[in-house]
C-alpha cells in the first residue's frame, strides 16, 4: 500500500490496521503514523500499544512492523485519531494521551457507551465547546 501511494506532492495519510481472532483473543495490528491504541485491562493501568510508524506515502522503502497482543476477557481497546490527543484548549495546550488515559481510568467500570460519551464530554470541555479543528474519532471494542 505504501508503494502504491508514493507521490511527488508530499501527500500522505495515517492508518492503523488490525485483525482480532475472536476465538483466541489474538490481536494483530500494524500502524502507519497513526496513534497507538489504548488497551485497558480490568484492574490494570491503561497502556498505549505500538510506536506509530511512518505514514503511508511518506517514504518509499518503509517496512511496517506487526504488533501482537493476546486480549483477555474484559479487555477494552480504544482506537482514536490524532484529533483527540491534539485537541487544544484556549491556551493552545493539547489534550494529550495523558488526559485520555485518565478519562479511561475514571470510566473503567462504566459501559463502553458511557466511556465514549465521557471522553467526548472531556474533549468538549477541554476545547471550550468550540468546533474541533481536526477530525475527532474514537472506536472502542470490548473483548
Classify residue 65: in a domain, yes or no.
yes
Q: Is residue 7 part of a domain?
A: no
Domain that holds residue 73: 15-142
**118 lies in some domain:** yes
19 assigned to some structural domain: yes
Task: Tell me whether residue 3 is in a domain.
Answer: no
pLDDT tens sequence for the chain (143 residues): 888 888 877 888 999 999 999 999 999 999 999 999 999 999 999 999 998 889 999 988 898 999 999 999 999 999 999 999 999 999 999 999 999 999 999 999 999 999 999 999 999 999 997 788 888 999 999 99
Does the residue 85 lie in any domain?
A: yes
Whether 8 maps to a domain, the answer reads: no
Please, which residues have CB within 8 angstroms of residue 129's CB and are 6 or more apart in sequence? Answer: none
Alpha-carbon separation of residue 26 from 43, 44, 140 (angstroms): 20, 19, 16
Q: What are phi and psi of 101, to 5 degrees?
A: -60, -40
Backbone angles phi, psi at 84, to 5 degrees: -75, -55
Pairing of strands 47-48, 15-20: unpaired
The alpha carbon dihedral of 46, 133, 121, 15 has a sign of negative
Could you give the C-alpha distances from 142 to 68, 76, 81, in angstroms and in order? 17, 4, 18
Flag whether 4 is in a domain.
no
**Total count of domains within the chain:** 1
Which among 60, 50, 57, 58 is positioned nearest to 18, based on CA atoms? 50
* CATH code at position 50: 3.60.40.10
Amino acid at each position: 500500500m505504501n508503494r502504491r501511494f508514493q507521490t511527488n506532492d508530499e501527500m500522505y495519510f495515517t492508518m492503523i490496521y488490525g485483525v482480532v481472532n475472536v476465538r483466541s483473543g489474538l490481536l494483530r495490528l500494524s500502524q502507519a503514523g497513526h496513534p497507538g491504541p489504548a488497551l485497558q485491562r480490568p484492574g490494570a493501568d491503561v497502556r498505549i500499544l505500538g510506536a506509530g510508524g511512518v505514514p503511508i506515502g511518506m517514504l518509499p522503502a518503509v517496512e511496517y512492523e506487526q504488533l501482537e497482543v493476546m486480549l483477555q476477557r474484559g479487555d477494552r481497546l480504544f482506537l482514536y485519531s490524532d484529533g483527540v490527543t491534539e485537541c487544544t484548549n484556549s491556551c493552545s495546550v493539547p489534550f494529550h494521551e495523558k488526559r485520555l488515559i485518565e478519562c479511561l481510568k475514571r470510566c473503567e467500570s462504566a459501559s463502553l457507551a458511557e466511556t465514549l460519551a465521557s471522553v467526548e464530554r472531556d474533549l468538549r470541555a477541554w476545547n471550550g465547546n468550540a468546533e474541533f479543528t481536526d477530525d475527532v474519532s474514537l472506536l472502542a471494542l470490548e473483548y
